[in-house]
Amino acid sequence: MKILIASPEIFPFVKTGGLADVTGSLPKALKTLGVEVRVVLPKHKQIGENFPLRYKNWKIFCPVSSKMVEGEVVESEYDGIISYLIEKDEYFYRDYLYSTPDGDYLDNAERFTFFSRAILEAIKVTGYVPDVLHLNDWETALSAMFLKIHYKNDHLLKNVATLLTIHNLGYQGIFWHYDMHLLNVGWEYFTPEYLEFYGKINFLKAGIVFADIINTVSKKYSQEIQTPEFGFGLDGVLRKRASDLFGVLNGIDYEEWNPETDEKIPVKYNTNTVEKKKINKVALQKTLGLQPSEDKPLIATISRLSNQKGFDLIIPAIPQLFALGVQYVVLGTGERRFHEELEETKKRFPEVLGLKIGYDNDLAHLIEAGADIFLLPSKYEPCGLNQLYSLKYGTVPVVRATGGLDDTIIDYNENPEAGTGFKFHEYTVDAMLSAVKRALEVYRDKKSWESLIKRCMAQDFSWERSAREYIKLYELALKKHGTS
Ligand code: ADP
């Protein structure tokens, strides 16, 4: 089976969030299982110089509105995965991928209409024709529609089946109807059955309507998004496609995230040497200017600073957290208002709040290795990766029971024999704090805490199982497309 994975970001080329982790790791896991797989992404400014760039004069021409926009496909590679970078500096050589701290780039509709076309033109120009084109999120979703409208008689592309993975329904690519001309499809597609979304154009919806098969990144989230509460207005469209909608939990890359081999942390450790975690804890405290203490419970959050991740619960609760005698560390970047509120809080609690506003992968590793508890009270969470990294590092998750968080964490109080963390249900400060208190109670009992840590570290969320499930979905997509 030949697969092409298309994504606006892929680690290690470029990453702003979990999407890049997933689209970087899945190809490696598929390859190990004998699948032929390549990837395609925009050639962003942030792509470093340590990747090969093979220019093969693969020029592409993509209709965007009435223009023929010229780009070039550049071949590259990471970890043995052939990668196609779509070069178009006017669109992709920018300081950010999608938006500045002040908002989205105004030409995102144009940029990602081009990219979604370029994915298909890249297939033609490179001659790598996949059986299944695996699309990820709204930035690639139009490809599914273009295939069925513009390429349905194309001898190379007409047999290509599509799988669309929705990593976060909160981001749909919604644009005003004046942008319809960019797509080069007729107004007959501007109806609620296809692209129209309350008077606007919705790119993700196009993918949901036209892809052969759809999935999200956990089973629970695939069910939640079919309800008005989590559906962001698309629950009806998703319910219509319920028989083609699946949930596949993300795996994690244990080559990147493993305290036994992690070169980014001061002291490596495993289940037999968990006491060494304390050395990392002190290193973390020193790095962030907190008082070194092996015993004081250290709670941490690494996250995009957005409402989705529960910062509207966390920030007002910080003083109450400190009243419980803990230190708290936050690493994150995102919405300006949260930057400001956290900076203000830091001024009030300089000795117990460790704060780094920004994106810092090395610090993320140190936090996972050094913290005792990982707090993630998301409003909704398609899968969530940090709770999985936390498990591996013996950093006990305290999470809200939603989406992937609910699927991956077993509550300790409900099931002390199998528990791997602490969950709460209601989206309130009180519910969150009571879960933190339950965690701290166990923390004080050294023996129980140590066996809990060890159980967390023994959990296996490796990619192999998820990759096997994706292979099943690829087979289903082919069947659905009528080409298997
Ligand atoms: P999402 O994709 O919704 O942001 P995930 O939990 O799926 O959330 O993935 C987030 C990924 O981004 C994780 O790998 C996490 O470690 C990383 N991350 C998020 N914010 C930062 C940051 N400020 N610095 C370093 N890594 C971060």
- Structural domain span for residue 283: 274-460
Mutate to test the pocket of ligand 1, among 25, 304, 387, 409 (most ligand atoms within 8 A of CB): 304
CA distances from 72 to 12, 56, 94, 134, 254 (A): 21, 9, 17, 21, 34
Instruction: Compute, in angstroms, the gap from residue 438 CA to the centroid of ligand 1.
Output: 26
Instruction: Compute, in angstroms, the gap from residue 61 CA to the centroid of ligand 1.
Output: 35
Number of the ligand 1 atom closest to the C-alpha atom of 364: 25
> What's the CATH number where 172 sits?
3.40.50.2000
446 in any annotated domain: yes
Instruction: Quote the CA–CA distance of 387 and 302 in Å, as a whole number.
Output: 10
Residue pLDDT, tens place only, 148-164: 999 999 999 999 999 99
| Residues lower than pLDDT 70 in the chain | 483-484
CB 220 within 8 A of CB 401: no
* Co-location of 199 and 53 in the same domain: yes
pLDDT given at position 483: 61
* Co-location of 471 and 390 in the same domain: no
- Atom 2 in ligand 1: residue holding the nearest Cα: 18
The DSSP element (H or E) to which 344 belongs, if any, is helix 336-348
Instruction: Quote the CA–CA distance of 306 and 138 in Å, as a whole number.
Output: 19
Euclidean distance between the first and the last CA atom of the chain, given in angstroms as a whole number: 11
* Co-location of 228 and 287 in the same domain: no
Instruction: Compute, in angstroms, the gap from residue 409 CA to the centroid of ligand 1.
Output: 18
- Atom 24 in ligand 1: residue holding the nearest Cα: 359
269 in any annotated domain: no
Instruction: Quote the CA–CA distance of 252 and 53 in Å, as a whole number.
Output: 27
Strand 373-376 and strand 298-305: pairing?
parallel
- Our count of domains for the chain comes to 2
pTM of the model: 0.93
Strands (E), 12-80: 36-42, 54-64, 67-78
Torsion (CA) 378, 383, 384, 387 in degrees, nearest 10: 100
- Atom 20 in ligand 1: residue holding the nearest Cα: 303
Instruction: Compute, in angstroms, the gap from residue 303 CA to the centroid of ligand 1.
Output: 5
Half-sphere exposure of 216 (CA within 13 A, CB side): 27
Instruction: Compute, in angstroms, the gap from residue 252 CA to the centroid of ligand 1.
Output: 12
259 in any annotated domain: no
Residue 102, SS3?
coil
* Co-location of 354 and 225 in the same domain: no
142 in any annotated domain: yes
What residues line ligand 1, using a CB cutoff of 6 Å?
17-19, 21, 168, 302-304, 331-333, 359-361, 364, 383-386
258 in any annotated domain: no
380 in any annotated domain: yes
CB 369 within 8 A of CB 280: yes
* Co-location of 305 and 449 in the same domain: yes
* Co-location of 233 and 290 in the same domain: no
* Co-location of 245 and 296 in the same domain: no
* Co-location of 473 and 331 in the same domain: no
* Co-location of 347 and 297 in the same domain: yes
263 in any annotated domain: no
Number of the ligand 1 atom closest to the C-alpha atom of 376: 6
CB 42 within 8 A of CB 8: yes
Instruction: Compute, in angstroms, the gap from residue 365 CA to the centroid of ligand 1.
Output: 11
* Co-location of 246 and 373 in the same domain: no
Instruction: Compute, in angstroms, the gap from residue 25 CA to the centroid of ligand 1.
Output: 15
* Co-location of 192 and 319 in the same domain: no
Instruction: Quote the CA–CA distance of 162 and 141 in Å, as a whole number.
Output: 10
Strand 132-136 and strand 161-166: pairing?
parallel
69 in any annotated domain: yes
Instruction: Quote the CA–CA distance of 284 and 169 in Å, as a whole number.
Output: 34
* Co-location of 114 and 188 in the same domain: yes
